[in-house]
Amino acid sequence: MNMNKPENKAAFTRYSRLPTEQSNPRTRDLDRIPLRRVLEKLNLEDALIPKAVAKAIPRIEKAARAVARSYLSGGRIFFIGAGTSGRLGVLEAAEIPPTYGVAPGVFTALMAGGQDAVFLSKEGAEDIFGDGRREISKLARRGDTVIGIAASGITPYVQGGLSAGNKAGAVTVLVTCNPREKAKEATIRVTLDVGPEPVSGSTRMKSGTATKLALNMLSTASMIISGKIYRNWMVDVKTTSRKLVLRAERITATVGGVGQEEARRLLDITGNDVKTAIVMARLGVSKEIAAARIKKARGFLKNILG
């Protein structure tokens, strides 16, 4: 790259001003202090993250409502990102279906550089605006939600995806750690102002942690207001492993007010449908009646059980 070209000089200046690229005055001695002190400093920096996330709660709330609206209306939700940000989106899309009984494909993650980049970094892939735009253009429709994840806020691949989401009529969300970026491509901006990283520019650190917290809150809250939780139990859990089978039995027994053997019997009758088994246990009704009550309540057990 010829840094003497005007466009390269402009890029150099722009990137050097990013909050995520600044030098942290509290950690400028990391390479000359004892290891224990290094760890203490890293921990102190991490302790700043929850406050930054707390300030973003109003925007996280808006994003969670958008996701819930998309889900309940039959739309889809897309996470799009590069590097650490992209991998955090992959985690969300992978973990939501078994936890909340969501069909495959409703939550989808798109990663700059494709699936291989989840395991092996392809740094240059994040610079291609057209890739993000093309991938989202093929998938997003009105009623969907596109969540762009970019610590810097200016990742071209993510900007391309958000631009395509807007054109398709989807709600667009940007989760970023750059409070200066206005992101005209995003309908909702979730800004996490965590300050400079302990190691300058290493956004897998505070930025990654803050983003993970915000995404956890966003997805969990959206599922709560979509009827996927009763009190604090995941009543739509899918029994895809022994651990989850035992969890389903425990939830059914606890919420249904029955013993483990009866919980197992009801789950066998319902094909491991925890909600139906709970309603059968609590109300003493048949599988068919329980299923009808759940459908009428739009999946919200609180509307049936109180």
Which of the residues are catalytic? 95, 126
Residue 253's CB: how many other CB atoms inside 10 A? 21
Taking the C-alpha atoms of residue 129 and residue 224, their distance in angstroms, rounded to an integer, is: 34
Contacts of 88 (CB under 8 A, 6+ apart): 79, 81, 149, 208, 211, 212, 215
Residues constituting the chain: 306
Buried b (16+ CB within 10 A) or exposed e, 156-190: bbbbbbbbbbbebebbbbbbbbbbebebebbbbbb
Q: Would you call 106 exposed, middle or buried from its count of C-beta atoms within 10 A (0-12, 13-18, 19+)?
A: middle
Q: What are phi and psi of 48, to 5 degrees?
A: -80, -15
Q: What is the CA radius of gyration of the chain?
A: 22
Structure tokens at 123: 């740094």
